[in-house]
Chain A
Amino acid sequence: MELHLNNIGHKYNNLDVLKEISFSIRQGEIACIIGPSGCGKSTLLRIMGGLETATCGDVYISGEIPSNTINPLTFVFQDFALLPWRSVEANISLVLEDHPIPTVQRKEIIDSVLARTKLSDFKKALPKQLSGGMKQRVAIARALAVNPAFMLLDEPLSALDSQTRELLMSDLIDLWQRENFTACYVTHNLNEAVRLGHKIIVLSRRPGTIRRIVEIPIPLEERHNHLAELEYSQQVLWNLMRDEALAADRELSNAD
């Protein structure tokens, strides 16, 4: 499944948030969107996932959606968005309950995604008992349960400490190798972008436009052997963003 954006523009109360954004994400590719805070990158992701409608332009998908997919476009949120009153198991069950899946099969799916995210021992735990990293693992397990054709990750690691982030990042790489999903990954962390992105879309400050699309041709699983190149790419990205980030920072302080 591929996703295409064609000349997307978005306004909030006549304030331009996004402008003239066009790009495509190919099958099996992870595209990272980076940009200074307030540049509308999360808005763009929500537009891609149908949670918001763009003021102009269109988003469409092409290619075949696998028949076993329950929810083709699936989000992973920064704040995990787990229901605090439901156990790990029941949180995953939530997204399957509205579909005509026999109970036995539903249990199988839950067990399988919990095993894949190394959560089998925490089936009955409530979210409040879990650490941030564990909560995000549950959210990822929930996303996997619906067999997504396309994952929309909205700063999934931003609420976590750096050690947990490192662990989850390598988990995500393992997962991608196994499941080979297509994804759009929004982050403000350049390191995450160069570690996980096949292609990195750099947005300018508000109104967000594409400054550049940087492709990183090193396969994800080999990136830990190419730290120097990654460091270089990261530097290139930072040079692209620094002035924008500085300006965006100043802009925020006198906004409203």
Chain B
Amino acid sequence: MQTKKSKQLKLFENLAKKSLREPEVQVKRPIRFRGGGFVIKPMPWVPPLVFTALIAFWEVGSRSGFISNLVLPAPSEAAQAFIDLAHSGLLIKHVKASLYRLVVGWTIGSLLGVTFGMLIGLFSIARASLFPLVSAIFPIPKIALLPLFVIWFGIGEGSKIATILFGSFFPVVIASYGGVQNVDRNLIRMGQSFNLSWFSIVRKIILPGALPAILSGFRISASIAIILLVAAEMIGAEYGIGAYVLTAGSLFATDQLIAGVAMLSILGLIVSWLIGKAEKALLRWRS
């Protein structure tokens, strides 16, 4: 016992001496930062730069002969084709015809889509009967049905609008149905606990709750509508951006083809921007 204690004492003395003898230099080491990365920062000047650089490279490549004119016309040629089109007065006609088909087809298709999506989300009988049907028809490429649409709705505007309508209908149904399903059940229960009417719960709780999903459905359906526009204008269309692109293609007028495709792309950008605006305005409440 005695020895153990003295041993311990000695150890402490030694330690004390040691610390007295050599006052340890406290090296200050900074803590290395390791929490960075994985954060996407907005870089607003990059997208225009990428576009400009790409088009400049393409233009220079075409002029120098590095890119053969047969393979790809220069952007300036495509721009010239576009200007010619504008001068001829046909641009307005093409754009008008296409916009008409897009707006009518997409609006009716999307509105029907929201209605059916809500029905499927709200009623067991609608879910049991319509959902399998929707799932079965959704994956069919609507282009394949084009001849049938021509027979059913005529070679005029009918079949073209029907193609776009069908194409935009299904993604909106699926998105709206998913949106209704994802509405916080507690909010619905809250509505019931305050004796809100069925209609009030649907209009004031379920519909706004499903709105984010419905809007992303719109975003998808709008892109699909533009894709289908070209297909729809394949048959018997005199005017329309799709018809213009197809005519240019069959004549191997690649400058016009590029001009037409660029118009479709810009149309898509405008639609996406509009939906972005709508999301910002309608979904301000999201954190």
Contacts and interface: CB of A to CB of B under 8 A. Distances in A.
Interface residues of A, number: 22
B199 to A, nearest CB: 9
A181 interface: no
B204 interface: yes
Nearest to B211: A85
Nearest to A94: B204
Interface centre among B190, B196, B204, B284 (most CB of A within 10 A): B190
B194 interface: yes
A19 B195 CA distance: 28
A86 B209 CA distance: 11
A149 to B, nearest CB: 13
B178 interface: no
B189 A95 contact: no
A51 interface: yes
A128 B284 CA distance: 10
Interface string A61-88: 0000000000101110101010111100
Secondary structure class of chain A's binding surface, majority of residues: loop
Contact of B193 (A75, A84, A86, A128): A75
Contacts of A215: none
A98 B200 contact: yes
A140 interface: no
B186 A77 contact: yes
B200 A51 contact: no
A150 B59 CA distance: 77
Contacts, number: 53
Nearest to A85: B285
B195 A71 contact: yes
B250 interface: no
Contacts of B200: 97-98
Contact of A84 (B196, B204, B286): B286
Nearest to A142: B194
Nearest to A73: B193
B268 interface: no
Given A83-B205, A126-B285, A74 B194 contact: yes
B196 A128 contact: no
A121 to B, nearest CB: 20
Interface string A42-60: 0000000101000000000
A230 interface: no
